[in-house]
Structure 1
């Protein structure tokens, strides 16, 4: 992971300290634990030795299909959106000189996945 400063220089003073209730923090931690441990269990099921270098194409396809099935069936993106909503709620969303709030600014340059044939990749 890249090394990032804990507090971006453009952060509003009101956003330098964000407080979550214990209930919200535990809700987020439970969701993270569910997703993380479940994905770990899927990986260990298909790769019990932890090594996928020698995995055959069929096992790899079953692993990919099960991971996709889990993500879809357990609504992983909905769960992640809930966590983002809880974490974002306490932030002051005042726009800066760049017409972005602190959260928008912090995520603006993330290297998001794009299809290899996406013309915006160039």
Structure 2
């Protein structure tokens, strides 16, 4: 998965070194740990051997339903948006010749999920 994400383009000099407070870093790390470990626990509950190959349809459906329930109930997207906000706050958002800032440029070509059958 990490290989699918291209390296970001060059940065403005002001964005080459970003400083965050220890409190902000800990807040982000706690959120990441909560989401990552909770999703891991869900996976281990439904697939105790760590292998979902050949899993029966019922177990797979339960796993999918519980993962979706967790994401919704624990507001995972809101938590991720908060982390993104904290991480992006110190960036200089001066627009370049392409009318984009460094953050916009870095995410422009990410291979985002699309509805099946939809090309763009």
TM norm. shorter chain > 0.5: yes
Gaps of 5+ in 1: none
> Which stretches of structure 1, 4 residues or more, deviate above 4 A after TM superposition?
none
Deviation of 1:55 (Å)? 0.4
Shift of 1:4: 4.9
Structure 1 residue 43: deviation in Å?
0.1
Q: Give CA deviations for 1:80-122 in whole Å, capped at 9, x if unaligned.
A: 000000000000000000000000000000000000132xx16
TM-score (norm 2): 0.94
Deviation of residue 8 (structure 1)? Answer: 3.0
1:117 aligned residue? 117
Aligned to 2:59, the other structure's residue is in SS state helix
Following the alignment from structure 1 to structure 2, what is the Cα–Cα distance between the partners of residues 100 and 32? 28
CA-to-aligned-CA distance 1:4-32 (integer Å, 9 cap, x gap): 54x632x1000000000000000000000
SS in 2 for 1:91: coil
Provide the C-alpha distance between the structure 1 equivalents of 2:59 and 2:84, rounded to a whole number of angstroms. Answer: 33
Q: What secondary structure is seen at the aligned counterpart in 2 of 1:58?
A: helix
Q: How many residues are treated as equivalent by the alignment? A: 118
Q: Tell me the secondary structure at the aligned position of residue 105 of structure 1.
A: helix
For 2:36, the equivalent position in structure 1 comes to 36
Secondary structure class of the residue paired with 2:63: helix
